[in-house]
Chain A
Amino acid sequence: MNRVDHAAIKASDSDVRRPDGGPTADPRIKVKTRGVSVFYGDKQALFGVDLDIDEKSVTALIGPSGCGKSTYLRCINRMNDTIEGCRIEGSIEIDGEDIHDRSIDPVLLRARVGMVFQKPNPFPKSIFDNVAYGARIHGLASSRKELEEIVQSSLEKAGLWGEVKDRLGQPGTSLSGGQQQRLVIARAIAVRPDVILMDEPCSALDPIATAKIEELIDELRFNYCIVIVTHSMAQAARVSQKTAFFHLGKLVETGPTELIFTNPRESRTQDYITGRFG
């Protein structure tokens, strides 16, 4: 049994700053948020969230419905900008760069920070065009051959190539739910993102399709920073290296996943993950 070393965990959580007080010096931290609060009109949905999200690893956000975890997730690629009356305070940095800086184009930001939703949402286009879409509009391919390469490698990374390589011209919607979700992941990967956000990506899938997505997440983590919102404790425990527990719009506790699920520090975390809430 591993001995619990809270001191060591605390040290890894602390923010490392450059001597000049500039952006994050620790290359392991991909996304760094400080004091992030979100308001929908008068209603405050998030209260000053400080969280570091590691590079090349999976961070799971857990908590009861309405706890703010999806709201937090949507801050990372400025999806909340599209909601009328939504106001965001605090700082969000990706690779030390403030994503609310005026020089940042939200459209380009969303290419860097891909998103996968609860329900698979393929475009009403062919499988090929679904994956090629982003690469085309961002001008990532200079020839048809290059585009085909991007489509193939993205589908391969999403673990879907073998299943669809002979039917790339068929509509994306002709695939099964689990395949559609992997298609959407391939579409996100095609524009070469750094960060992939997933909002309950398996909640509409059967156990086998879920297992395939989880396996995929486990492979993708070697190249991407992945943040996943999930209602399944078991899924959070299986796929993530770090877990953050949200409750009533506040970040209650964050730490290595193993520790959160075996020996959480906060009683609210304990109550939630053992099914004692409410």
Chain B
Amino acid sequence: MTDHTVRSFSAELEELSGDIARMGGLAEDLLSDAIQATVSRDAALAETVVVRDALVDALQVEVERKILRLLALRQPLARDLREVIAALKIAAELERIGDLAKNIAKRAKLIDLMEPGPALKGLSRMGRLVNAQLKRVLDAYSAMETAAAAKVWTRDEEVDEHYMSLFRELLTYMMEDPRTISGCAHLLFVAKNLERIGDHCTNIAEEIHFLVTGETLTTERPKVDVLANN
């Protein structure tokens, strides 16, 4: 697209998508480190995740401040307007992803004190999948590719399936040996957090679709109902 007649406006919009990319990169790092800390039971790494989440929060505040200013001073319209609104919403999604990664890291510090659970392998697989989803959706945002975003959106079904099987697995361990309940409950929350992060990725995918096309993704996303199967 050609530049605005007022070039500083184009620069501000670019700056905004740059901020989102930075937030995304940070969230990605937090997530992969939180998973790594859980799987390898690394309390020190987990602690850095807890600390670094503040950076994501600070960036979100910064993005919101910039958008407030941009709306007041530039009154963006059409695609520009959608771009700004999408940035505002994606920043909020990334901030939530950071929080969930922090929560995983906090639990990793507790799991560290306990016996390694047998479910860690499954958790690690699910973590890799969710991480890949986040990476893909961020790439789709950078490239403004709605097809790539739509793929992330449909692939969330896989994340849900992983969550469901982990849920069943952990339930079995807890029934077999009540001493594992405390550890498994933490792992269950970790899995739930990963599943939530997957949902935030689909929200970002929806924002990308709206940004590019001006239309909302309305078809029902395939869902796996965990509760119905147990």
Contacts and interface: CB of A to CB of B under 8 A. Distances in A.
Interface of A: 1, 3-4, 233-234, 237, 261-264, 269-271, 273-278
Given A275-B6, A276-B4, A277-B5, A4 B215 contact: yes
A263 B5 CA distance: 20
A273 B78 contact: yes
Interface stretch (B79-87, B119-127, B196-204): B79-87
Sort A-B residue pairs by CB-CB distance and give the 3 closest, nearest first: A263-B214, A274-B80, A273-B77
B229 interface: no
B19 to A, nearest CB: 20
11 contacts: A3-B218, A233-B77, A262-B77, A262-B78, A262-B81, A262-B82, A262-B214, A263-B82, A264-B78, A277-B5, A278-B5
A3 B214 CA distance: 8
B215 A276 contact: no
A148 to B, nearest CB: 44
B9 A261 contact: no
A274 B79 contact: yes
Which residue among B78, B81, B215, B218 has the maximum number of chain A CB atoms within 10 Å of its CB? B78
Interface residues of B, number: 20
A4 B80 CA distance: 17
Nearest to A261: B77
Nearest to B76: A274
Contacts of A269: 78
B230 interface: no
Contacts of A1: 210, 216
Nearest to B3: A276
Interface string B1-44: 11111100100000000000000000000000000000000000
Contacts of A278: 5
Nearest to A264: B78
B171 to A, nearest CB: 39
B220 to A, nearest CB: 14
A249 to B, nearest CB: 22
A264 B78 CA distance: 7
A269 B2 CA distance: 13
B216 A3 contact: yes
Interface string B55-90: 000000000000000000001111111100000000
Contacts of B81: 261-262
A3 B1 CA distance: 24
Contacts of B3: 276
Given A1-B210, A233-B77, A262-B81, A274 B215 contact: no
Contacts of A271: 1-2
Given A262-B78, A262-B82, A275 B9 contact: yes
A3 B78 contact: no
Contacts of A262: 77-78, 81-82, 214
A10 to B, nearest CB: 16
Which residue among B4, B75, B79 has the maximum number of chain A CB atoms within 10 Å of its CB? B79
Contacts of A270: 78-79
Contacts of B214: 4, 262-263
A231 to B, nearest CB: 14
B202 to A, nearest CB: 16
Contacts of B79: 270, 274
Nearest to A267: B1
A1 B216 CA distance: 8
A3 B216 CA distance: 6
Nearest to A233: B77
Which residue among A264, A274, A277 has the maximum number of chain B CB atoms within 10 Å of its CB? A274
B77 A274 contact: yes
Contacts of B80: 274
Interface string B197-230: 0000000000000100011101000000000000
Interface string B82-109: 1000000000000000000000000000
A274 B78 contact: yes
Contact of B5 (A3, A234, A261, A275): A275
Interface in B132-148: none
